[in-house]
Amino acid sequence: ETGVTQSPTHLIKTRGQQVTLRCSSQSGHNTVSWYQQALGQGPQFIFQYYREEENGRGNFPPRFSGLQFPNYSSELNVNALELDDSALYLCASSFNRGFSYEQYFGPGTRLTVT
């Protein structure tokens, strides 16, 4: 198992609400990436945080936002939830030494939007 942790494990929200998901990176890692995995599909890149700043973003609308803290942990915030936001949200930590290889995933947060 990796040292990457996520909370909460499961979450049920109503359409239009806001949600915050949390991720603690593996010891020694300074970069956190977030992915969305819909049922039966591969994970899709949302964005990456390095040195407390967004360091690359996938094709997700601005209502998906994030933060990284000085201890390298991270939050993913989603506003105005839609039914299609129901998915497994995964964070992955890595060490950026000019590039980030070897990303290690946390167990994920299962978000259900009703």
Partner 1 sequence: GENVEQHPSTLSVQEGDSAVIKCTYSDSASNYFPWYKQELGKRPQLIIDIRSNVGEKKDQRIAVTLNKTAKHFSLHITETQPEDSAVYFCAPQRERDGGTSYGKLTFGQGTILTVHP
- Residues in contact with partner 1 by CB under 8 A are 2, 31, 33, 35, 40-45, 48, 50, 55-56, 58-59, 90, 92, 94, 96, 98-108
For partner 1, which is the closer residue by CB, 8 or 56? 56
Distance, CA of 108 to CA of 92 (rounded, Å): 9
For partner 1, which is the closer residue by CB, 16 or 61? 61
Cβ at position 15, least distance to partner 1 in Å: 25
For partner 1, which is the closer residue by CB, 18 or 41? 41
Helix (H, G, I), strand (E, B) or coil at 31: strand
DSSP string across 89-105? EEEEEE--SSS----EE
Cβ at position 28, least distance to partner 1 in Å: 16
For partner 1, which is the closer residue by CB, 40 or 62? 40
Q: Which tokens hold the place of 57?
A: 């973003």
Task: Give 40's DSSP letter.
Answer: T
Helix (H, G, I), strand (E, B) or coil at 60: coil
Cβ at position 74, least distance to partner 1 in Å: 14
How far, rounded to the nearest angstrom, does the alpha carbon of residue 41 sit from its chain's CA centroid? Answer: 16
